[in-house]
Structure 1
Amino acid sequence: MLIQRLTRARESFWFLPTVLGVLALVAAKGVVTLDRALQDAGLTDLPLMDTLSADGGRAVLTAIAGSVLTVAATSFSITISVMATTSSAYGPRLVRNFMADRANQAVLAVFTATFLYALVVLGDVHSEGVGMFVPTVAVHLAIVLAVLNVAVLVFFIHHIAQSVQVTTLQHRLREELVAAIDAVFPTAWSTDQVDAEPVEDGSVVTSRRSGYVQHVNLDALVRRARAAEGRIDLLVAPGCHLVAGEPLARVRGDVDELTDAVHDHVATGPSRTPYQDVVFAVQDLTEMAVRALSPGTNDPYTAASALDALGEGLVMVVERAPAPRGRTDDGGTVRLVVPWPTAAELVTSVVTAVRTYALGAPVALDAALRLLGRLERSATRPSVREALHHQVLTLHDAVADGSDVVDAPDVLARLDALADALATADRPSS
């Protein structure tokens, strides 16, 4: 799928440097051609463009190319080291954030493009015979690029130091979570979004390859289902893992056409991505909290701030209507059903991690109670409040049975108050 390829390119270190490298090659040849035209026209006394000897031009270009390549190699060896340290402390999946960081990609692109530009211009410097030629404009432009590279290096050092801070990492993960929630849980359903349950009949479409479901092209599937006068019921959502041959969807209508549609517009890959996978986005912040509570890290304040960041996204989920599972065509006929996760499932995954890892960390447990309080005040749907009530009672039992809970009576009292507030199906009036 095109979207999958674009996503992989965006999260790679090669795409932007390749684009800028090609542009640098074209620019080098273009500026050298301009130099020849100016010299042929006798315009050799341009302002700020002092004439250079061939040896001088070569020395400048050689110094720029060599130093820029050295700086690029050193800078990104530091980046790899930082990625390894950060991923070991807060989770290996954070490597994807460094890979997808546009600033890191742009810095590498500028360094490599400058090297290629200087190298190409260096090849056009000739000092002997009738064809003696020194591309003065091109060499001076290389000096300008070298100055720009110094500024980029200073920016890179600042950026990499800032990007490894816990607050910056959490901010990025929180932004990804909010974006995933906006994609799956809209503030208001559009006219083509309905509540629909999957059907039990129809032909089963199996996965052709193993991997995680990374992206579902909803609009394309609706168009293909309408053209085939059928319906597609996906059996998995983004984030689910499939083994080749396992059921992927049920289709009714033109089976061959709809089977091709499913395989064309449901992308799978070796890893999960947060763009449509809300569960994965929640797990990223949850994993940061859990790792911060490990004996090797022992950083409960990072865990608390991760739970606070989770609150921003989970409050949005419980405030909004359920994710619309059905998509209709222009005539109002249901053409596609996707089993999106529910608010209860997301909250349960977080509270389960708290019960397992945070009972012995009073700072993190306090943040978890604060999160549950926010969810209680924001949830309006009876089903969500019932699920929250169950999770509060489960956490209450875990605290009551635990022997290492600090200030257990106070924690139990706060949980009792939350349970009482959630006992009703509707949100309490303020």
Structure 2
Amino acid sequence: MKQFLVRIHTFYSTLKSKIAFYPSLIALFGFVIALIMVIAEQKGISRHLIEVFPLLVVEDGDTALSVLSTCIGGLISLMVFSFSMVMLLLSQASSNFSPRLLPGLISNKRHQIILGVYLGTIIYNIFTLFSVETSEEKFTLPGFSILLGVVFSIICLGAFIFFIHNISQSIQINNIMDGIYDQATHRLNSIIEREDEKKDQIIQAFPKTENWYSYTSPKSGYFQNIATQNIIDICKRKEMKLYITVPKGLFVLKNIRVLKANKKLDEDTVQAIFANLNFARGEYIQDNYALAFKQITEIAVRAMSPGVNDPGTAINAIDYLTELFALRMKKNDLGVFSEEGNPYIKIAVVHFHELLYQVMASLRTYCRHDPTVAQKLIWMLGYLKQQPSLEQAYMEAIDEELKVLLKAISFDSEKDMEKVQQLADSILKS
């Protein structure tokens, strides 16, 4: 049952990220409302409306057809224009910033809901239009249904105004980085909280895994998530320990060894374990915080490329990276999951020194000739060195990256080199 729930959750998470999820859902809702109104009209709801508010009811069938036809045509035009704007946003973000940003922009709920409101209203008005006959009298026209169609169309106009405002904000790079930063901090904070809860329980050292039995992945994809409690329950029943050899976010190829166990497992147990591992074809920050570092780094690199040459955006990106690294330093590199003091699962993690190296390696290549951006990188490393850390290895990694950065930078002005060297020396001595 737990495995079934995990699969349902995984399927829902994947489906929710699709651009057509909310529009399809709201369109179905519009169809259901149209059917409900057909039943309500058969019960005489419009006759009661005429008696209370006669001015709100259309009295002529031709007028009703004209109103609904105008609403449908106008809403289709709005929907096409809005969808074109979304495609333009995605194209511009991909070309100017990074193609990795597309999944996050596509899954923007506001855009999806607005498109869904358009589509739901169009479907409602179409089915309401079917029930209108020009020869009918005002007492038999679906007056209340027509009124609702007009109200929904007016709501769509308000949604369109909000859409124009939101689309103009979404294309701004600061707002894009804000969204990436918020998702990453939420993910990191949830991981750190779980580590705090189990920190005192990790008493026994996890055994070495060199001679353990290995098992291969039945499918390929990005390793996104793991149902920890389900696998711990399996380990407790089988009295075993597991080691997952790949970190989250890594692309796993089929038939690659990704799982080790301290005892030989039967086929059913192996399938049960892999059923609780989520392999997806796309990457999402909600499941892998390291993706946020990659995306923000790519924004900075693209900004410093010769074709763009935008140091201001690169400096802003480094500011976001600084905060994310400071938060990452609160997380340990253990990757061990335990229960009641007994470790059952160990998962390979992206160590802090490796994450810092991957980011700095890209930034060094494109930023070493710009004095202002290079100083910002040195300031970032100095700020990180002042943060309280769980491990001394974090501080050693920062010092190492600072020394490598000093060797890589190259300026035409001796004054710039001298200023950067002084800043770096003050950090190394602290």
Q: Structure 1-normalised TM-score?
A: 0.91
Q: What is the CA distance between 1:324 and its match in structure 2?
A: 4.1
Task: Tell me what 1:29 maps to.
Answer: 35
Tell me the residue number matched to 1:146: 153
Alignment of 1:271 onto 2:282? yes
For 1:171-320, what aligned pairs fall within 5 Å after superposition? 171-186=178-193, 188-191=195-198, 194=202, 196=206, 199-253=209-263, 254-318=265-329, 320=330
Unaligned stretches of 5+ residues in structure 1: 422-430
Residue segments in structure 2 that go unaligned for 5+ positions in a row: 1-6
Q: Give, in angstroms, the shift of residue 379 of structure 1.
A: 4.1
- The corresponding residue for 1:325 is 335
Aligned to 2:128: 121
Contact between 1:207 and 1:247, CA under 8 Å: does it hold in 2?
yes
Amino acid aligned to 2:103? R
- Pairwise CA distance, 1:163: 0.6
Q: 1:167, CA displacement in angstroms?
A: 0.9
Give the whole-Å Cα distance in 2 for the aligned partners of 1:257 and 1:208: 13
From 397, 416, 419, give the equivalent of 2:425.
416
Change (3 A) 1:20 1:250: same
Do 2:209 and 2:262's aligned partners in 1 also have CA atoms closer than 8 Å?
A: no
Residue 177 of structure 1 and its aligned partner are, at CA, apart by 2.0
What CA distance in whole angstroms lies between the structure 2 residues aligned with 1:394 and 1:38? 80
Is 2:382 aligned against 1:373? yes
Answer whether contact 1:214 1:238 (CA < 8 A) is retained. Answer: yes
Are the equivalent residues in 1 in contact too, given 2:371–2:411 (CA < 8 A)?
Answer: no
SS of structure 2 residue aligned to 1:45: helix
Distance 1:257 1:202, change over 3 A: farther
Structure 1 residues 66-105: aligned runs within 5 Å: 66-105=73-112
Residue 425 (structure 1) aligns with:
none
Q: Deviations over 1:357-407 (max 9, x none)?
A: 1111223222212211210110433111111111111112213xx355771
Aligned residue identity for 1:264 = A
SS at match of 1:236: coil
Per-residue deviation, 1:188:
4.8
Tell me the matched-pair count.
417
Q: Which residue of 2 aligns with 1:50?
A: 57
Give the letter aligned to residue 299 of structure 2: M
Counterpart for residue 424 of structure 1:
none
1:180-212 per-residue CA deviation (whole Å, 9 max, x = no partner) reads 322434475213763646522332121112221
Distance 2:66 2:393 in 1: 73
- Distance in 2 (alpha carbons) for counterparts of 1:405 and 1:133: 86
Which deviates more from structure 2 when the two are superposed, residues 405-414 or residues 88-97? 405-414
Moved more, 292-301 or 198-207: 198-207
What amino acid maps onto 2:254 in structure 1?
Answer: A
Bigger Cα displacement from structure 2, 224-233 vs 13-22 = 224-233
Partner SS, residue 345 of structure 2: strand
State the alpha-carbon separation in 2 of the partners of residues 57 and 199 from structure 1: 75
CA deviation after TM superposition for structure 1 residue 39, in Å: 5.5
Choose which of 135, 138, 144 in structure 2 pairs with 1:137.
144
- For 1:383 and 1:405, the matched residues in 2 are separated by 35
Evaluate the alpha carbon distance shift between residue 41 and residue 129 of structure 1 in structure 2; reply closer, same or farther with a 3 A threshold: closer
